[in-house]
Structure 1
Amino acid sequence: MALVLLFVTVVLFSVCEVSMNAVYRVGDSAGWTMIDHPDYKRWASTKRFHVGDTLIFTYLTQYHDVMEVSHHDYVHCKTNSAKAVYHTGSDSVSLTKPGEFYFICSNDGHCSAGQKLHIKSSSNNAAIIRNFYLTIATVFALCIYKTNSLTDHIN
């Protein structure tokens, strides 16, 4: 019985973990573009990004790309020392750590015209709490299992 409880607990917490991570399409329906000059600063200000979330950049590859850059390169729209370059037209970027992330389009004039994104990712406290409760549930299930084992031996 205790093993069944442990299994159910692990499955439930695993499902919770998947549902806690958000996937954001950068620019929502507009995507990563210059058409109609989306306000990526405003877009980002309406979201709360956490470790484990994913950014999806969708764009036409003949006109755009995505570069992850430093703060300095973001401010000055410099493209010569990118941390990462994406160019598939449907790029997934996972936020693997807390901190600030900067993205620009490297095509001439796009960054200076506003095709750039700055986000701040914070640690996912929900994951920490989930792991704490999972540990407690595991210890509880093991205690029940041991108690049942001892009871079986006495009887």
Structure 2
Amino acid sequence: MEIVIKTYVNQTFLAVWQGFNEALFLKLAPPFPPVKLLRFDGSEKGDEVHLRLNFLLFKQTWISRITENVKTDDQIYFIDEGTKLPFFLQYWKHKHRIIKHIDKIRGTQSIIIDEIEFKSFLGWLIYPILYFQFWYRKGIYRKIFK
């Protein structure tokens, strides 16, 4: 299954890239499930992020590794892939794209695109939950990168 969410922000793509750090990661965490960050190496190839998700009745570990990081003249992206996932996910690949965008009225902007591929035995039941968790980021991105 796939989810794609685009957010326009009023900063250059290089400024947005500089803001992709641990502090932003923590602000992007959705209200549920509560997330405890155990490890955050960064967004470069080989870096890892380790999380503990608290579903109240049980906890799950999530580990992702950055498998790709590409910088060009008009975009930067990195891909994280799940290496240890909560029981309800069998596959996770998340491409974070920051694209240079020129708006005729507002000038230089960026588009932040979350492109998620996942597999779950819960299928369409989990899709709206995951969609909302990434849609939730739009307001945070706009507030931080205004």
TM-score, with length taken from structure 2: 0.25
Bigger strand share: 2
Structure possessing the higher radius of gyration over alpha carbons: 1
